[in-house]
Structure 1
Amino acid sequence: MKDKLYAGLRRFVELCISRRIPVVALIACVTALMAVCAAGVSMKTDLDDLMPRSHPYIGVHERFKQNFGGSNIVSVMLEVREGDIFNRAVLEKVRRVTQELQHVDGVNQFQIISLASKKLKDIRGSTEGIDFVPLMWPEVPQSPEQMAALRNAVLGNPLVYGAYVSRDLKATLVTVDFYDHAIDYQKVFRQIQAIADKARGDGVEVRVTGEPMLFGWVNHYLPETLHIFLATVGFLILLLFLTARTWRGTVLPLLAGVVSAIWALGTARLLGFNVDPLVIVVAFLITARSISHSVQLVTRFDDEIAAGTKTAEAAARASMLALFKPGMLGVIADAGCMIVVLLTPIALMQKVAIIGTVWVLTIAVSAVVLTPVLLSWVTRPNGYAHPLDLSPLLQRVLDVCIHVVTSRWRYTVLAGAAVVFIVSGLYAFRLSVGDANPGSPILWQSARYNQDATAINRQFPGADRMFLVFSGDRPGALKEPEVLQHIAGLQRFMGAQPEVGASLSVADVLPVVNKTLHEGNPRYLDFGKDAQENGELLYMLGSGAEPGDMDRLADPKLQHGSLTLFFRDHQGQTIRTAIARIREYVQANPVEHGEFRLAGGLVGVLAAVNEVLLSGQVESIAFALLVLVICCAVAYRSMSAGVFFMVPVVLSNTLTFSFMAAKGIGMNINTVPVAALGIGLGVDYAFYIVDAIKEELQHGGRVDLRQAITRSLNTAGRGVLITASTLIVSVILWSFSSLRFQAEMATLMAIWLAISAASALFIMPAMVYVFRPAFIVGARQDAGRIEATTTMA
């Protein structure tokens, strides 16, 4: 069977080399067509792609977001340096900002709330009943008396004081929501930034936060991201040129990466997928895999020439034949580990999984096939492009690897790897699911957006919101005193959580109406005695309100009411604690007229995402490891091969997860695809080293295991060393990115590459030498008869 497969592979290689012109022409035509498609691919962030549509929280969010507040709320804070906001110049700015926000694209004009809007009102009693008078609409107070009256009205209104005017009276808040289907983040970002810039000055600082602004900042830095990407590629070209010393060793790996990228982006365009700017890190990671496979082939080609192969065509044929199996095994393992991300029911993750898998699979053509075919045309295989020779330095490193692996140090290496695995594995449990730090983990803490978020959360209860919905069993259920007490009790219970700055519901408004109706007597700061009295209070509240004023508190039938919680941050632990506390209260305090439904708003959406990631993280890693085991078992016809190759994978992942935990990098929707691809990344180099050992034992004549390992490290090991070192140094440029996420993911890539290379150069050969697995040494009778002096050396 093995002979038949080997013969079939030989025929395929011969076909590719002998028909190299049609092969290259076909690849060139497909690449040209895909390039046309790739030119039209859209690069943007879509919030809908981040939502796990099947999660019950998202169902609640989608049903009630139009009234109770969506996930696209933007908060604009105007803060004075001296005095307070109650002066005409500052309040004129508030009015102008409120008016200008009405003209922003995609804005929900009924959800613009500020002192200058009709939404914030003073509740006053009169001989005719209760009046609801806008606090500061349509004009700014002109006289000192009017200004003093406004101040007193704010101080006496619990729905405004602390919520829209800070406790120290130095800041006021303007909030605005958008229609999800109509929002364009780039346009909204530019328009709101222009409004904020116009309002700044004269002792007034303007702060802006909200998901549309965050995505706007990501798009704002897109040109910088592309520049860093190009600079990294340029640096990579330079390093490859220095280490390879040949144009073929420089151009062909880059060509392989470009072809794979074009095919993948063209596929994205054909499928109608947009490309999120944040997944550029994943793109670079896959491109690195393509370059790595191509470098291995070029290195093997150079070794064949150095060994005396007379023609470039024969050397290319031998290189492709020798490395086809480990190359394809690496491609299939990477693709299998990437496709498991598809199990996560989030549109963005599924798009990344599909495009990432296609991207990885294209390496089979761009590197494994195209590189050796093009190598067959090399006219001066023995020539060099520059005199600088780094091979002695590389050889010294390889000599160290050989000495460590073939001496007693190999036991120290394996023991050290075991200790590192145990320690890092235990520490990896500290990895947080969701955001691990306040603000946005996408940007640096010193970024304008995070500084604005910190300032707003310092002055106000919190810019991040989650709404719960009390769904009554019938219309009018919200009028029941038990229901209102239940809602108020949950508000008090959640207020004990430090990260929850405030809450808002109809239960906050009715006592104020009742008190006002009784001439301000504080004894009546409570709900009505029965449903009928509460219904009258709600009628008074609704009759004095403008259309849409009550929408953020309850529906017209008074069956569904919102309870909005304001959070100071949206860290994973904060959200999980809040959800757990809500469930605890609801279970301990049942109410017969309905139930609470979780959860909407930005924090509700993030809660759904985190729960999906938490439930799917272990599952995805387990499936990725299963795919790896199956690939190795099929390729080497041995289940022990799957277990054998898991060693570098689990080591690289535990170390990487430990680093993420130590640096406060959470496992969120942006990092999961990188982590999944990292499982395949952890084993690619090992395939080449181990397969080279196996090939030397089977086809290298009468060589013992030590000689096979030495030759493998001097050939395949050289390719691993060149690829890993050039890529690790190249990704340093990403540390200068204004996007913290990209800088941190670049660091993770460097760690993965370093651990993978170290595992391939030290741990895997040491394991082969110590354990001598049958799928590598085979039935060679002399494989175990290594001289005692060699074993004891």
Structure 2
Amino acid sequence: MIRTLETVVFRSRVVILAILAVLTVWLGWYALQLKMDAGFYKQLPQGHPYIETFLQYQDRLFGANRIIVVLRNKKSDTSTIGDGKPKDDSETIFNQPFQKKLNDVTQDIFFLPGVDRRTVTSLWTPNTRILEITEDGITARDVIPGTVTPDEMSGQAINQLRNDVVKGNLVGRLVSNDFSASMVVAELLEIDPKTQQRLDYFELAAKLERDIRGKHESGNFQIHIIGFAKMIGDIADGAQSVVIFFALAFLLTVASVYYYSRSWLLTWLTVGCSLTSVIWQFGLITVLGFGLDPLAILVPFLVFAIGVSHGVQQVNLITAEVANGASGEGAARASFRGLLIPGSMALITDLVGFAVLYIISIAMIQELAITASIGVALKIITNLVMLPIVASFFKYPENFVERVNAARDARIGAIRFLGNVANPAIAFPVFIGYLVLFGIAVNESEKRHVGDLHPGAPELRQDERYNVDSRLVAQKFSVGLDLLTVIVETPPLACVNYNYMKHLNEFSWFLRNQPGVRDVQSLPFVAKQINSGWNEGNLKFRDLPRNQFALVQATSPVGTSSGLLDVDCTLLPIQVYLIDGKAETIKPVVAAVKAWIEERGHKPVLSAGTFNSDKVIPVEFLPGGRVKRESSDPTSSWTLTREQLVNLRYNAPPLGEIKPLQFRVEGFAEISADGMPKGDPIAKGTVKVNPDETGAAGVDILSNIRGTEWDNAAHFLIRDVPDGLLIRLASGNSGVAAAVNEEISKQELPTTLAVYAVIIILVFFTYWDWRATVCCCLPLTFATFFGYWFMLNTEIGLKVSTLPVMVLAVGIGVDYAFYIYNRLQYHLSVGLNVTESYKQAITETGNAVIFTAVTLAIGVSTWSFSPLKFQADMGLLLTFMFVINMLMAITALPAMAVVLETLIPRKTRPWAPPGGH
């Protein structure tokens, strides 16, 4: 079959090359239109419970995608008193020039594209208010009245501002702790509500640099900007250097391939075919409507590297055939025939390795999976078909054979020495040594980190302007970008119910005392301060009043713009500010919230079904389930299908008395478009519930509504259901980061197992030998866990940018194993023992395997000098993975083969692999 395919391909080689040339021109035109593409929502793991919470409340809660601009008085750098605070007003924010500049910055931010103007907050915006204790009680007013202009900010106005900043508890929030800087905060809209166009983060980042920093940073004023939009813009700017490192790696690859092949024709053919596939890849992803994310900017080089890897194998076999006297066409045919099967297997494995990343529900990784899979799939055409076809036209000079043989003879000594690893006396100690190292690596890999290991933007180096700004904001302010919002869903008017408020107050205090938490804001905390204010500031009254009317008085001054409650008090979020955004900071706080929910969290009063396997959920989260809350009292009316009635459970209302109760049930034949019952009920009834001492009970509605009148009821309305309290994670950018980290941690094992499953299937059905499966997969497993061990020791976290590299390493590693084992089994099939077979195989393919790994490692090692920290980390990790996979293929694989042949001898010869000769 292989020879038939060979004959068809090479007889039609002119037609095939013509078609490929047209395809290259067409896709090349689209490749020129490829653009960088970034988006905040592309970073979110869709379907994760935290993200579902975030998306549900994104219009009412903020903090996940914000920008923070800090205006700082540089005079404070050189003139401070003993406690670190500036000496006089000229070195603080309390002077007219500073306030005028702050107002200008606020106005310019207000009109930036993508800014949600409702959320712009600074000392100059009307949503920054102060609650002041007076002889008449409490007055609420703007910190800077609307009647005061920037030019009038002097004298009495400045003194009033100074007092109001302290009274309004704005120190550490909008004003730095040392009074030298002030903050402007704004949320971003991913989709423009008018045009429905996605926000261009690169344009916004450029405007922040040009219209905010460039315009307002001068003299004694310095601007500091942080936020996702600025970070992704800085990454995009740094990503431009990728072109330089790509060019450097390209030149090193060209020089190395020429050194190996001793032919400029074969050199340019190898790199040309790899570049062709990259051009096709760019063109196709443009046609499909995708862009290139800055965090996935390295994918094209990885695809290029895979192409060079397979191209060198082709060059290796072509030069060997030419050296043995074959013509150019004969050598190309032999290469096509001999490498089609192992090359296809290797590329299919690479393809599956990237494709399985699609199961991770993060849009950016899914786009990466698509673009990388396209690139690898194209390698089957460019490297396994196009390369040998073009090579078949080559004529080699007479001295070419002499140059090739001289180069091969120079390398053959070292290669033959490596063949000694297949001697049983060496193979067994080598294999046992690797097993010991593997055990250590498995143990150490359990300590590896998922998520960011460094504060600020770990994708950038610590001395980059963004991280310098991030550190300054963290040092001078008590709040910043690292916000975790815990959602608390309550019955209506829970904000004036002492039991609920007391529970939230205890929860807030619990969170404030967790390691890694800088500050906590919640309605009970604010209400206690206001209650003290209504009592002349007496600290004895800084507590929650039990009287409902006093509680109304304590909470009424707090508006919905504070983000601490909604209009009917069914949403009372808790804002948790963390010291940084590192995974080791976020994870314990999230774990603390989960522990509280498990121990003291309250489930919905009536629940149906499960969520995340063990969490009961309210009916509105079920397909077809609807709920309508009554405004007059804390009850709900629930609409359910007949199937959903089976799973109903009752839990006594939280913080209340356990007592029997009954629900009114009505049956309906159909529901309206909004999911509520339509028309008059066709049947009515009641269901009694008697909870046990824990407050739990089953709700067997179907047994209580027997009767023919219920037979036609498809939907059931349950009335008078008391509402409960539900604590949910999470919003805020730290909540989003926690969701991403959990998703990667959850999906890492399934994706790796999926790749291994494909490798096992391919190897077994290609060689029909379980030994081949073990010999190819076990060294690969060694290399994978050695990679995790390496990541731990070099402080590289497993995250969106590193997970694809580890999956790629699996594909590259098995490439080496396929090429070596393919020749090993061929020699076994003709009667050689395993030791001699490996010594023959390593002399035929060892040069190419070692050369490819070293060349690619040298190329990516130059990335260590990149201004982008994540690119430098990827270069370091890829360099290690290229080398360790090569070492496993040329040492662990033969050692494993010898151990198996010795302990479990073959009874018959294996069959020759397809294409072997």
Q: Which residue of 2 aligns with 1:353?
A: 369
Determine helix, strand or coil for the equivalent of 1:221: helix
| Aligned counterparts, 1:527-538, within 5 A | 527-538=544-555
Q: Which residue of 2 aligns with 1:105?
A: 113
Residues in 2 aligned to 1:466 and 1:489: alpha-carbon distance in whole angstroms: 17
If you compute each CA radius of gyration, which structure gives the higher value, 1 or 2? 2
Q: Which residue of 1 aligns with 2:695?
A: none
Residues in 1 aligned to 2:114 and 2:764: alpha-carbon distance in whole angstroms: 54
Determine helix, strand or coil for the equivalent of 1:583: helix
Matched, 1:92 2:105: no
Residues in 2 aligned to 1:424 and 1:77: alpha-carbon distance in whole angstroms: 45
Aligned match for 2:44, one of 43, 51, 68? 51
Instruction: Note the C-alpha offset of 1:106.
Output: 0.8
Aligned match for 2:191, one of 181, 204, 223? 181
- Asked if the contact 2:132/2:138 (under 8 Å) is kept, the reply is yes
Aligned match for 2:272, one of 219, 233, 255? 255
Residues in 2 aligned to 1:198 and 1:711: alpha-carbon distance in whole angstroms: 70
Counterpart amino acid of residue 516 in structure 1: G
- Asked if the contact 2:450/2:741 (under 8 Å) is kept, the reply is yes
**Could you report, residue by residue, the CA deviation over 1:538-592 in whole angstroms, capped at 9, with x for unpaired residues?**
43444xxxxx634x22222222122111122222222221111112223333463
Aligned match for 1:650, one of 772, 775, 781? 781
Instruction: Note the C-alpha offset of 1:23.
Output: 1.7
C-alpha spacing 1:385/1:36, structure 2 compared with 1 (3 Å): farther
Determine helix, strand or coil for the equivalent of 2:485: strand
Counterpart amino acid of residue 87 in structure 1: N
**Could you report, residue by residue, the CA deviation over 1:342-371 in whole angstroms, capped at 9, with x for unpaired residues?**
221121222222222222121111101111
Instruction: Note the C-alpha offset of 1:696.
Output: 3.2
| Aligned counterparts, 1:722-733, within 5 A | 722-733=851-862
**Could you report, residue by residue, the CA deviation over 1:237-286 in whole angstroms, capped at 9, with x for unpaired residues?**
12222232112331122122122222322332232222212223233222
Q: Which residue of 2 aligns with 1:791?
A: none
Instruction: Note the C-alpha offset of 1:782.
Output: 14
Matched, 1:521 2:535: no
Instruction: Note the C-alpha offset of 1:51.
Output: 1.0
Counterpart amino acid of residue 13 in structure 1: E
Unaligned runs of 5+ in 1: 1-7, 543-547, 784-793
Q: Which residue of 2 aligns with 1:695?
A: 826
- Asked if the contact 2:531/2:543 (under 8 Å) is kept, the reply is yes
Residues in 1 aligned to 2:907 and 2:16: alpha-carbon distance in whole angstroms: 36
Instruction: Note the C-alpha offset of 1:717.
Output: 1.0
C-alpha spacing 1:608/1:127, structure 2 compared with 1 (3 Å): same
- Asked if the contact 1:697/1:777 (under 8 Å) is kept, the reply is no
Q: Which residue of 2 aligns with 1:574?
A: 585
* Larger relative strand fraction: 2
Matched, 1:481 2:612: no
Deviates more, 1:127-136 or 1:727-736: 127-136
| Aligned counterparts, 1:603-752, within 5 A | 603-698=734-829, 703-752=832-881
- Asked if the contact 1:95/1:116 (under 8 Å) is kept, the reply is yes
Counterpart amino acid of residue 605 in structure 1: V
- Asked if the contact 1:115/1:135 (under 8 Å) is kept, the reply is yes
Counterpart amino acid of residue 252 in structure 2: F
C-alpha spacing 1:512/1:117, structure 2 compared with 1 (3 Å): same
Instruction: Note the C-alpha offset of 1:766.
Output: 3.1
- Asked if the contact 1:428/1:654 (under 8 Å) is kept, the reply is yes
Aligned match for 2:335, one of 319, 324, 348? 319
Aligned match for 1:335, one of 338, 351, 364? 351
Instruction: Note the C-alpha offset of 1:61.
Output: 0.9
Aligned match for 1:36, one of 16, 26, 29? 29
Q: Which residue of 2 aligns with 1:786?
A: none
Instruction: Note the C-alpha offset of 1:650.
Output: 0.9
- Asked if the contact 1:61/1:70 (under 8 Å) is kept, the reply is no
- Asked if the contact 2:505/2:524 (under 8 Å) is kept, the reply is yes
Deviates more, 1:77-86 or 1:214-223: 77-86
Identity %: 26
Aligned match for 1:365, one of 355, 374, 381? 381
Instruction: Note the C-alpha offset of 1:64.
Output: 1.8
Instruction: Note the C-alpha offset of 1:400.
Output: 2.7
Matched, 1:170 2:188: no
Residues in 2 aligned to 1:68 and 1:519: alpha-carbon distance in whole angstroms: 32
Deviates more, 1:167-176 or 1:652-661: 167-176
| Aligned counterparts, 1:9-158, within 5 A | 9-80=2-73, 81=77, 82=79, 83=86, 84-125=92-133, 130-137=138-145, 138-140=148-150, 142-158=153-169
Residues in 2 aligned to 1:185 and 1:90: alpha-carbon distance in whole angstroms: 29
Q: Which residue of 2 aligns with 1:199?
A: 216
- Asked if the contact 2:93/2:180 (under 8 Å) is kept, the reply is yes
The alignment yields a C-alpha RMSD, in angstroms, of 2.6
Instruction: Note the C-alpha offset of 1:451.
Output: 1.8
Deviates more, 1:744-753 or 1:375-384: 375-384
Residues in 2 aligned to 1:395 and 1:595: alpha-carbon distance in whole angstroms: 71
Deviates more, 1:272-281 or 1:424-433: 272-281
Determine helix, strand or coil for the equivalent of 1:362: helix
Counterpart amino acid of residue 890 in structure 2: L
Determine helix, strand or coil for the equivalent of 2:446: helix
Determine helix, strand or coil for the equivalent of 1:177: strand
Determine helix, strand or coil for the equivalent of 2:561: coil
Instruction: Note the C-alpha offset of 1:202.
Output: 3.4
Q: Which residue of 1 aligns with 2:315?
A: 298
Q: Which residue of 2 aligns with 1:472?
A: 490
- Asked if the contact 1:52/1:345 (under 8 Å) is kept, the reply is yes
Instruction: Note the C-alpha offset of 1:769.
Output: 3.6
**Could you report, residue by residue, the CA deviation over 1:443-470 in whole angstroms, capped at 9, with x for unpaired residues?**
1122221221112112222421121222
Counterpart amino acid of residue 75 in structure 1: I
Residues in 2 aligned to 1:259 and 1:248: alpha-carbon distance in whole angstroms: 16
C-alpha spacing 1:776/1:157, structure 2 compared with 1 (3 Å): farther
Q: Which residue of 1 aligns with 2:693?
A: none
C-alpha spacing 1:101/1:732, structure 2 compared with 1 (3 Å): same
Counterpart amino acid of residue 176 in structure 1: A
Aligned match for 2:395, one of 360, 369, 379? 379
**Could you report, residue by residue, the CA deviation over 1:31-83 in whole angstroms, capped at 9, with x for unpaired residues?**
33322333333322222111112112112211222332142211222333242
Deviates more, 1:689-698 or 1:516-525: 516-525
Q: Which residue of 1 aligns with 2:651?
A: none
Residues in 2 aligned to 1:711 and 1:254: alpha-carbon distance in whole angstroms: 28
Q: Which residue of 1 aligns with 2:573?
A: 562
Deviates more, 1:496-505 or 1:289-298: 496-505
Aligned match for 1:490, one of 499, 503, 507? 507
**Could you report, residue by residue, the CA deviation over 1:426-483 in whole angstroms, capped at 9, with x for unpaired residues?**
211111111122222211122221221112112222421121222112x322221222
* Larger relative helix fraction: 1
Residues in 1 aligned to 2:910 and 2:582: alpha-carbon distance in whole angstroms: 60
Determine helix, strand or coil for the equivalent of 1:696: helix
- Asked if the contact 2:140/2:557 (under 8 Å) is kept, the reply is no
TM-score, normalisation: structure 2: 0.79
Residues in 2 aligned to 1:391 and 1:93: alpha-carbon distance in whole angstroms: 71
Residues in 1 aligned to 2:751 and 2:769: alpha-carbon distance in whole angstroms: 24
Residues in 2 aligned to 1:71 and 1:773: alpha-carbon distance in whole angstroms: 60
Count of matched residue pairs: 765
Instruction: Note the C-alpha offset of 1:231.
Output: 2.5
Deviates more, 1:105-114 or 1:528-537: 528-537
Q: Which residue of 2 aligns with 1:789?
A: none
- Asked if the contact 1:42/1:274 (under 8 Å) is kept, the reply is yes
Counterpart amino acid of residue 434 in structure 1: G
Point out which structure has higher relative CO (alpha carbons under 8 A, 6+ apart).
1
Counterpart amino acid of residue 285 in structure 1: L
TM-score, normalisation: structure 1: 0.91
- Asked if the contact 1:249/1:295 (under 8 Å) is kept, the reply is no
Residues in 1 aligned to 2:352 and 2:558: alpha-carbon distance in whole angstroms: 59
Residues in 1 aligned to 2:783 and 2:744: alpha-carbon distance in whole angstroms: 21
C-alpha spacing 1:246/1:776, structure 2 compared with 1 (3 Å): farther
- Asked if the contact 1:512/1:525 (under 8 Å) is kept, the reply is yes
Residues in 2 aligned to 1:722 and 1:383: alpha-carbon distance in whole angstroms: 23
Determine helix, strand or coil for the equivalent of 2:483: strand
Determine helix, strand or coil for the equivalent of 2:521: strand
| Aligned counterparts, 1:326-475, within 5 A | 326-380=342-396, 382-384=398-400, 391=408, 393-406=410-423, 408-463=425-480, 464-473=482-491, 475=492
C-alpha spacing 1:590/1:657, structure 2 compared with 1 (3 Å): closer
